[in-house]
């Protein structure tokens, strides 16, 4: 729906700024996914060591 007195599309500079923000958010999201995977792997290793009795005593 077109509103009289307003352009159909935002100015190109505003579109480019929005695209830049979207790219930054996507890179952050990718880093979060990678970090989540790394945390899962580290937790699995820690749990395996804990249940095998391989953790040092007194680190509670």
Tell me the pLDDT of the chain (60 aa) as tens digits: 677 888 789 999 999 999 999 999 999 999 999 999 999 999 999 999 999 999 988 755
Region of residue 57 (left: phi > 0; alpha: psi -120 to 50; beta: else): beta
CA separation for the pair 13, 15 (Å, rounded): 5
- Tell me what pLDDT residue 59 has: 54
């Amino acid at each position: 729906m077109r509103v009289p007195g307003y352009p159909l599309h935002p100015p190109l500079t505003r579109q480019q700024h929005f695209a830049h923000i979207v790219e930054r958010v996507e890179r952050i999201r990718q880093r979060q996914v990678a970090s989540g995977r790394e945390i899962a792997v580290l937790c699995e290793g820690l749990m395996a060591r804990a249940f095998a009795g391989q953790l040092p005593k007194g680190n509670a």
